[in-house]
């Protein structure tokens, strides 16, 4: 059976479809069926080389800077193209744009491109429903009418109740490139916490909505990453909670999951250190490594400067932290990953009283 990575499908769809940017991930099995279904569109002959094009490709010339030389333990190592490491430099932007123009000039000559786009669009043009799930006394599910760029989240009071749109990411941008990256609904179904990603970025902005009136809540948390989860069952924390709950926007979240616990009073979250004073960082184009992950606790309705630092490991800057609270709300698990893509993890259990 043909097996194709599910990550390839959204990229392929975005590449060949002009009016819709589909971001639905497909299992390897269904991906195989999808590709086999339109395999007849391709000529049954080896793919032609670029030398078969009517003219020789004129690749953009990258400037060589021979002045950049590093000395590693007495060994001279030249790095003449280091200037390409700055994605915000005008020279780099111009070079990338020329690369894009060259690529498009080749793709536009592909005879099967329009047929492929038409076939994929037709295959996706059908209503799709995700399995419903229950929180509190409400039911939630995702639905896509067919060619919507993003799935819409619906809520209803019972299985026989009338569904209402709770969150429609398609309304957040004209081109459908703002996507719902992650979400979690509190156990009492009072709050929806969700992460929005723009243009496929790994960086996410976390927001909180009151489900009853669909109003946003305005705390602002910056340089958040990886995991957000709410904690309860602490009398001291509960007594200190402000009476007024306001908006919650958490910026710079990355690879995030959200896990609520029982009282929805506040939450632990992971973040990276904020930029230093005067330092300008454009999240999504920055090239520095993600280092010094930290775990904080935030009270809804308070300023981020009042958040409580709960866990960090400055001796291991590449470690990342996530977490979850048990179903009974009494134990908090901290998951520590040795590397971002390392499967080796260990757990710390913190009992909450």
- Identify the pLDDT of residue 320: 82
Sequence-distant (6+) residues with CB within 8 A of 214 are 166
Residues 204 and 323 in one domain: yes
Tell me: the pLDDT tens digits for 296-344? 877 777 777 788 887 888 998 888 887 777 778 776 677 777 665 555 5
Residues 341 and 254 in one domain: yes
Residues 120 and 65 in one domain: no
HSE value, Cβ hemisphere, 13 Å, CA-based, for 265: 17
Tell me: the pLDDT tens digits for 218-233? 655 655 553 444 433 3
With respect to residue 301, please indicate whether it lies within any of the assigned structural domains. yes
With respect to residue 250, please indicate whether it lies within any of the assigned structural domains. yes
Label residue 18 by pLDDT band (50, 70, 90). Answer: very low
Sequence-distant (6+) residues with CB within 8 A of 257 are 182, 184, 226, 227, 228, 229, 322
With respect to residue 272, please indicate whether it lies within any of the assigned structural domains. yes
Count the domains in the chain.
3
Contact 120, 41 (CB under 8 A): no
Contact 193, 153 (CB under 8 A): no
Residues 215 and 336 in one domain: yes
Helix (H, G, I), strand (E, B) or coil at 309: strand
- Identify the pLDDT of residue 234: 36
Alpha-carbon distance of 45 to 133, in angstroms, equals 48
Residues 230 and 295 in one domain: yes
Alpha-carbon distance of 307 to 297, in angstroms, equals 6
DSSP state of 293: -
With respect to residue 344, please indicate whether it lies within any of the assigned structural domains. yes
Alpha-carbon distance of 226 to 319, in angstroms, equals 11
Concatenated DSSP letters of 181-231:
EEEEE-TTS-EEEEEEEETT-SEEEEEEEETTTTEE--EEE-SEEEEEEEE
- Identify the pLDDT of residue 27: 37
With respect to residue 165, please indicate whether it lies within any of the assigned structural domains. no
Residues 99 and 183 in one domain: no
What range defines the domain where residue 96 resides? 50-107
Residues 189 and 271 in one domain: yes
E strand or H helix that includes residue 85: none
Residues 67 and 32 in one domain: no
Look at residue 142 and tell me whether its pLDDT is greater than 90. yes
- Give backbone dihedrals phi and psi of 123, rounded to 5 degrees, phi first: -65, -30
């Amino acid at each position: 059976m043909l097996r194709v990575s599910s990550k390839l499908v959204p990229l392929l769809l975005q590449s060949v479809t002009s009016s819709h940017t589909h971001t639905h991930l497909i299992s390897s099995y269904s991906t195989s069926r999808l590709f086999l279904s339109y395999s007849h569109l391709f000529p049954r002959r080896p793919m032609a080389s670029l030398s078969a094009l009517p003219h020789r490709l004129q690749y953009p010339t990258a400037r060589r800077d021979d002045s950049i030389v590093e000395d590693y333990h007495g060994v001279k190592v030249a790095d003449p193209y280091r200037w390409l490491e700055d994605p915000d430099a005008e020279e780099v932007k111009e070079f990338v744009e020329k690369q894009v123009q060259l690529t498009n000039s080749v793709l536009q000559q592909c005879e099967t491109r329009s047929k492929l786009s038409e076939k994929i669009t037709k295959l996706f043009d059908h209503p799709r429903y995700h399995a419903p799930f229950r929180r509190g006394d409400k039911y939630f599910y995702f639905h896509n009418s067919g060619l919507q760029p993003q799935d819409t989240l619906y809520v209803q009071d019972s299985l026989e109740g009338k569904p209402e749109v709770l969150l429609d990411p398609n309304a957040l941008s004209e081109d459908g490139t703002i996507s719902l990256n992650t979400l979690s609904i509190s156990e009492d179904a009072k709050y929806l916490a969700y992460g929005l990603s723009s243009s496929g970025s790994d960086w996410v902005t976390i927001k909180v909505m009151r489900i009853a009136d669909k109003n946003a809540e305005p705390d602002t948390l910056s340089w958040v990453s990886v995991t957000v989860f709410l904690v309860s069952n602490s009398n001291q924390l509960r007594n200190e909670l402000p009476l007024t709950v306001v908006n919650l926007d958490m910026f710079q979240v990355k690879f995030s999951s959200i896990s609520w616990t029982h009282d929805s009073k506040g939450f632990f979250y992971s973040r990276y250190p904020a930029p230093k004073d005067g330092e300008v960082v454009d999240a999504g184009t920055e090239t520095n490594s993600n280092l010094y992950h930290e775990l904080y606790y935030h009270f809804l309705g308070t300023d981020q400067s009042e958040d409580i630092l709960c866990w960090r490991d400055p001796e291991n800057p590449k470690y990342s932290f996530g977490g979850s609270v048990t179903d009974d709300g009494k134990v908090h698990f901290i998951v520590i990953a040795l590397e971002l893509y390392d499967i080796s993890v260990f757990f710390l259990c913190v009992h909450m009283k």
